[in-house]
Amino acid sequence: MKTDMSLLSLFTDASILVQIVMLILLILSVLSWTIILQRGQALRQATRLFEEFQEKFQISSDLNRLYDYLASRRAQTQGIEKVFRKGFREFIRLYKQDVQPEIILDGTERALRLALARQEEELEQNLPFLATVGSISVYIGLFGTVWGIMTAFRALGSSQQATTLAMVAPGISEALVATALGLFAAIPAVFAYNRFSSLQEKLLRGYDNLTEEFANALHRRLHSSQSWQETESADIFENGKDKL
């Protein structure tokens, strides 16, 4: 007697509970792959934008002009560009109030930290879901396997015929498919989570370093000669007043 061992037949012949387990694992797998593709593209784009902005920042001798460039495309700024724009905007706002340099720097650093925290949240988006899928998928598949094997042996125990391999194999195969689906969902999710977490940490370290350089540049400018305050600050307010 021939036994149909195709994946479709293994699914349709399985018990209702094992079918539910298989469907859950398939849904988790589709969702995790969707997130993997989306987060992979987002992290690659964030890394590219960071490298481009870092190059512009290091070769630029005029932070005002760099700010004007970002302010002109405010709706399109992303990643480290948002951090720079919000920090410099706060610096200008406090400078216009003619407060003490320490207050200006403290307020600017708070704005930079807040912008960095928001960027960290964006970079971590959906990563906990991948970690969850990687953790629970194997156990969900194992539950389906155990239940399927129990069902197969109960059927064998109630059978009046002699037990043969042909009778056992379909039930065992159906059960093991649940384990295979669990691994299929878990392995890519775990690999992607580890990979994306590493890229995210590297990118955040770059953000922190560049933000520190930016804060140091503002500190030097704030404590520079009075002539800079009379000339450069006028440029800041004239060029940036409509973009704040």
Query: What is the separation of C-alpha 80 from the centre of its chain, rounded to a whole number of angstroms?
Result: 15
Distance CA 94, CA 111 (A): 11
Whether the CB-CB separation of 33 and 193 falls below 8 Å is answered with no
- Burial environment of residue 87 by CB neighbours within 10 A (0 to 12, 13 to 18, 19 or more): buried
* Nearest CA among 85, 108, 112, 110 for reference residue 243: 85
Distance CA 170, CA 239 (A): 75
Q: Where are the domains of the chain?
A: 16-137+186-240
Q: What is the pLDDT along the chain (244 residues), one digit of tens a residue?
A: 444 556 666 667 667 887 888 899 999 999 999 999 999 999 999 999 888 888 888 887 677 778 777 777 766 678 888 888 888 888 888 888 877 888 888 888 899 999 899 988 888 888 999 999 999 999 998 888 888 777 777 766 655 555 555 566 666 777 788 888 899 999 999 999 999 999 999 999 999 998 888 888 888 877 773 444 444 444 544 454 444 4
Distance CA 78, CA 50 (A): 9
Distance CA 48, CA 61 (A): 22
- Burial environment of residue 133 by CB neighbours within 10 A (0 to 12, 13 to 18, 19 or more): buried
Query: What's the pLDDT at 79?
Result: 84
Rounded to whole angstroms, what are the CA distances from 71 to 25, 106, 120?
46, 22, 22
Query: What's the pLDDT at 58?
Result: 81
Query: What's the pLDDT at 230?
Result: 45
137's CB contacts (< 8 A; 6+ apart) are 25, 28, 29, 182, 183, 185, 186, 189
Query: What's the pLDDT at 229?
Result: 47
CA angle 241, 243, 244 (to 5 degrees): 75
Query: What's the pLDDT at 94?
Result: 86
- What is the SS3 string spanning 151-170? HHHHHHHCCCCCCCHHHHHH
Distance CA 243, CA 75 (A): 11
Query: What's the pLDDT at 237?
Result: 44
